[in-house]
Amino acid sequence: MKLIVLQDVLYIVLIIALSIPLGWYMYRVMSCRRFFLSRILLPIEECIYRTSGTDKNREMTAAQYGGAVLTFSTVGLIFLWLIQMLQGHLPFNPEKISGTSWDLAFNTAASFVSNTNWQAYSGETTLSYFTQSLGLTVQNFMSAATGIAVLFALLRGLVLKQKQTIGSFWVDLTRVTLYILIPLSLIVAVLLISQGVVQTLSMYRPVLTLETGAVQTIPLGPAASQIAIKQLGTNGGGFFGVNSAFPLENPTQFSNLLEAVSILLIPAGLCVSFGCAVNDKRQSRSVYAVMLILFIAALAAITAAELFTAPVYGDVAMSGNMEGKEVIHGIGASSLWAACTTAASNGSVNCMHDSLTPLGGFMPLFLMQLGEIVFGGTGSGLYGMLAFVLMTVFIAGLMVGRTPEYLGKKIEPFDMRMVCLVILVPLLCTLLGTAAAVTRPGVTKWLTNSGAHGFSEVLYAFSSMAANNGSAFAGYAADTVFTNVTGGIIMLLSRFIPMYAVVLLAGNLAAKKMIAAGEGTLATHNVRFTGLLLAVVLIIGALSFLPALALGPLADYFSVLK
């Protein structure tokens, strides 16, 4: 128990310590300031602009910025969809894997373009090296960069005064990819290779097993490069079927810590960037504190559930729940990862979430259902939390009879309509998708378990897709035409409707004038506001999903309680 606590404390200290310099660095990158990498990367950046015909000095209106986001993502969706279906005729396919079905290709394309990385397949048996590298890995970079770009468009909207433009999407996308994601991914990939994570274009390797002498095929591939960006970009899609529970994807305790830190590193750093962008670090500390409180509470709850609520078999009480966990990671590291991957919209796993105890599975579900705002995805987590900040400011304004203000900008009806889209669209997609699935006549054939746990499997699947998370209880048979098509649509709607709403919100805020703070202005950086924001987040999550959670993991817990 002491070792688990020390491990968790070390992890939190590392995240805080690393996020501060990284947040400052990302702010400088997005402010187009020169720094130590400029001498190397600036010529490459300029070459990209010349080749693509981009005028880096031409800024976009909100409508133009949002249109560029949707156009770019649509092209990526179609490109990845076609690659998967045609991969049998494309190079770098030493195992001669044929193309996927149209519905699985659509689901996977929607999943990776939307930064969800939900997988209804096993990578080593379904996708070629070409598809993994040119298709999935590229989208890991692009979807993460898109989220960060949209976040900085919103931050500009908060600080600009009576401006009709919010920056250039193409410049933002280029700078995020070139100066932030690629350098960090190179560092993490090299460290992962040093730990034994595979990075090769060689064919799969047959080996003789020591126990039986039988031949076993060991899957290989360019995994380390994809794993680095899957964690840093809060993508989460596993190169191999069992994701980071697989020894060739996560072989050591150091690689486990490195990958876990990578999951929250950029989202936490963006909170620091927020404070730099608005020139008020107190604002970022308030948001950071709410995220950290929710994360620590969830981590403690998952760890306690796995340690102390393990099932009793006959008269034998288990000392912790090790089912579905790798021995090298144990309960502590597995619980930490489960909290990290569902706090962020990452979705990678180092244990099987379907094997968590009912209360252990409750918290990852609830973290996703909050809207992936507890650090959340790269960019999307913070702009989702800022939507809750504006909601809190609006509620507080109603309570005292004042027009709500945030950072010197009046929050008006249009702003609140955009905020509601950001908060409510994933929520509705989760509930409607779950309802559609459980009313299907053959849904019981798709489930490993029946009863409350079977319902939890369905609820988890659609919570994961609607939250752009990508993890799964894995007891739900996902590769069906219904789930592939419905899930793909849900992932796209949950990603791009809130994202477009954030861009429009940014444009509307940028066009406003600044107003001076008065005696009645609500302070949004003190302990009182932090507590109010925390309450709003929990109340909206609880009121929205408590009935479904009561039918799923809570009912499951009481059904096995003895």
Compute CA 344 distance to the chain's CA centroid, rounded to the nearest angstrom.
4
Structure tokens at 66: 């949002």
Task: Give CA–CA dist 237/111, Å, rounded.
Answer: 9
Most confidently modeled range among 24-28, 326-330, 441-445: 24-28
Determine the 3-state secondary structure of 197 from DSSP. coil
Q: What is the pLDDT of residues 263-279, one digit of tens each?
A: 999 999 999 999 999 99
Report pLDDT for 482. Answer: 94
Report pLDDT for 399. Answer: 81
pLDDT of residue 435 exceeding 70, the answer is: yes
Structure tokens at 102: 């149209």
Task: Check if the beta carbon of residue 77 is closer than 8 Å to that of residue 108.
Answer: no
pLDDT classification of 241: cutoffs 50, 70, 90: confident
Determine the 3-state secondary structure of 254 from DSSP. helix
Structure tokens at 505: 């919100």
Beta bridge partners of 217: 206
Q: What is the pLDDT of residues 93-130, one digit of tens each?
A: 988 999 999 999 999 999 999 999 999 888 888 999 99
Averaged pLDDT for residues 318-346: 89
Q: Which residues of 440-466 are buried (b: 16+ CB within 10 A; e: fewer)?
A: eeebeebbebeebbbbbbbbbbbbbbb
Residue whose tokens read 């730099």: 276
Length of the chain, in residues: 562
pLDDT of residue 394 exceeding 60, the answer is: yes
Computed on alpha carbons and rounded to an integer, the radius of gyration of the chain in Å comes to: 23
Report pLDDT for 318. Answer: 57
pLDDT classification of 215: cutoffs 50, 70, 90: confident
Q: What is the pLDDT of residues 289-325, one digit of tens each?
A: 999 999 999 999 999 999 988 765 555 555 688 888 8
Report pLDDT for 1. Answer: 77
Averaged pLDDT for residues 451-480: 91
pLDDT classification of 207: cutoffs 50, 70, 90: confident
pLDDT classification of 398: cutoffs 50, 70, 90: confident
Task: Give CA–CA dist 291/286, Å, rounded.
Answer: 9
Averaged pLDDT for residues 408-421: 94
Residue type, 534: L
Q: What is the pLDDT of residues 476-518, one digit of tens each?
A: 888 899 999 999 999 999 999 999 999 999 999 999 998 887 7
Structure tokens at 103: 């519905």
- Residue 296's CB is within 10 A of a number of other CB atoms, namely 14
Quote helix, strand, coil % in the chain, to nearest 5. Answer: 65, 5, 30
Task: Check if the beta carbon of residue 87 is closer than 8 Å to that of residue 128.
Answer: yes
Report pLDDT for 518. Answer: 73
Task: Give CA–CA dist 302/307, Å, rounded.
Answer: 9
Report pLDDT for 83. Answer: 96
Average pLDDT value for the chain: 91
Determine the 3-state secondary structure of 351 from DSSP. strand
Task: Give CA–CA dist 539/110, Å, rounded.
Answer: 31
Determine the 3-state secondary structure of 316 from DSSP. strand
pLDDT of residue 163 exceeding 60, the answer is: yes
Task: Give CA–CA dist 32/137, Å, rounded.
Answer: 26
Q: pTM of the entire structure? A: 0.94
Report pLDDT for 315. Answer: 53
